[in-house]
Amino acid sequence: MIDLRSMEYDELESFLIESGEPKYRAKQIFSWLMQGVDSFDEMTNVSKKTREMLMGKSYISKLTIREKYTSKLDGTIKYLFALDDGNCIETVVMRYHHGISVCISSQVGCRMGCGFCASTIGGLYRSLTAGEILNQVIYAQKDIKERISNIVMMGIGEPLDNYDNVLKFLHNVNHPYGLNIGYRHISLSTCGIVDKIYRLADENLPITLSVSLHAPNNKIRDGIMPINHKYKIEELMEACRVYIKKTARRISFEYSLISGVNDSIENAEELAGLLHGMLCHINLIPVNHVEERDYHKSKNYDIKKFQEKLIQLGMNATVRRELGADISASCGQLRKKLL
């Protein structure tokens, strides 16, 4: 049985034609799927015969809201969604002046092992299908009854470790017959899987690439991000330069400030040197607390000094506002929970 929500539009069209349906059915069915129907019976403009055919050959993947928390501080919503196999993932909805953003997961767990992140504790269970990634946007939108305009792939998992499904998802979420969310309103964050950054550069998608850098040199990065043993900072920077050249898009570098680890003035100077001349923006994130980890947020004074030093050296650097602090919905705090 195939999941209709994991199929790209063209695949759906071929599948329907092979099943003896007219081509225009694809548009009807695709748009029902994207509106968040749970069953074939809800597709009211599709004949009973076609619905029975679909039921015999395919299914529609679903998400069930297991828990929903709303922040009293800023209205951020965190969902614990159960997948059809009982595994759970977290998805976060955030309100900004420019619209509503959803932060989605790409895997159940993560195998990247970053020392400061909750999502990787317990390792990787499995990657999400294209439909399961998409469903987070569909079901969150259905629940809040408002249009989601922006997507950040910054939830649980490493998107570039689930490359093919993430690509399918991007095509589907952008499709004009579906949610029609523009690529420029989508950010994808990676810990720096270099060969996949090169591949992504060739896809010609004007999304925003965020790179989780968190250190200005190999010594510090080796200590907090295992991926750095595989791809050194120099290789990562070269891939980023090629990405910028090919796409003409600015990269956003994420830098979590961890007290005593990567937050000195010398670190700021070294970071500015590393990124000098690149079309980029630096997103400073005071590290969020994760119970099992012994990393602490930098002091406000040190954060300010770090940012000022970067700006003084000609860099574009902002401090990310923390949302959903009272419901553990901030960066690095999302984790899978098994039933």
Where in 258-287 is the site for ligand SAH (CB under 6 A)?
Answer: 285, 287
- Among the listed residues 262, 288, 298, 328, the single contact to ligand SAH using CB under 6 A: 288
Q: Does 154 bind ligand SAH (CB under 6 A)?
A: yes
Q: Name the residue nearer to ligand SAH (CB basis): 34 or 331.
A: 331
From the list 90-98, 112-120, 196-204, 228-236, the region that binds ligand SAH by CB under 6 A is 112-120
* Shortest spacing between CB 96 and ligand SAH, in angstroms: 17
Q: Name the residue nearer to ligand SAH (CB basis): 191 or 251.
A: 191
* Shortest spacing between CB 154 and ligand SAH, in angstroms: 4
Q: How many helices (H) and strands (E) does the chain have?
A: 11, 14
In the structure encoding, which two tokens stand for residue 41, read together?
A: 């019976």
Q: Does 331 bind ligand SAH (CB under 6 A)?
A: yes
Output the DSSP codes for 26-72.
HHHHHHHHHHT-SSGGG-TTS-HHHHHHHHHHEE----EEEEEEE-T
* Shortest spacing between CB 141 and ligand SAH, in angstroms: 21
Q: Given 90, 132, 158, 254, which residue is catalytic? A: 90
In the structure encoding, which two tokens stand for residue 101, read together?
A: 């953003």
Q: How crowded is the C-beta side of 174, counted as CA atoms within 13 Å?
A: 15
* Shortest spacing between CB 265 and ligand SAH, in angstroms: 21
Residue 190 CA to residue 161 CA, distance in Å, equals 9
- Among the listed residues 256, 262, 267, 298, the single contact to ligand SAH using CB under 6 A: 256
Residues in the interface with ligand SAH (CB under 6 A) total 18
For 123, counting Cβ atoms within 10 Å of its Cβ (0-12 exposed, 13-18 middle, 19+ buried), the class is exposed
DSSP-derived secondary structure letter, 89: E
* Shortest spacing between CB 193 and ligand SAH, in angstroms: 9
Angstrom distances, CA of residue 257 to CA of 22, 229, 285: 56, 21, 6
- N residues, the chain: 339
Where in 180-219 is the site for ligand SAH (CB under 6 A)?
Answer: 189-191, 212
Q: Given 88, 114, 280, 331, which residue is catalytic? A: 331
Residues 169, 134 contacting (CB under 8 angstroms): yes
Residues 323, 94 contacting (CB under 8 angstroms): yes
Binding mask 215-254 for ligand SAH (x = CB under 6 A): ---------------------------------------x
* Shortest spacing between CB 13 and ligand SAH, in angstroms: 32
Residue 169 CA to residue 172 CA, distance in Å, equals 5
In the structure encoding, which two tokens stand for residue 167, read together?
A: 């690509």
DSSP-derived secondary structure letter, 192: -
Q: Name the residue nearer to ligand SAH (CB basis): 194 or 331.
A: 331
Q: Does 158 bind ligand SAH (CB under 6 A)?
A: yes
| Residue 90 falls in the annotated catalytic set | yes
- Angle formed by the axes of helices 25-35 and 9-18, to 10°? 130
Residue 200 CA to residue 246 CA, distance in Å, equals 10
* Shortest spacing between CB 3 and ligand SAH, in angstroms: 24
Q: Name the residue nearer to ligand SAH (CB basis): 142 or 232.
A: 232
Q: Catalytic site residues?
A: 90, 331
Q: Which residues form the interface with ligand SAH (CB under 6 A)?
A: 112, 114, 116-117, 154, 158, 189-191, 212, 254, 256, 285, 287-288, 290, 331-332
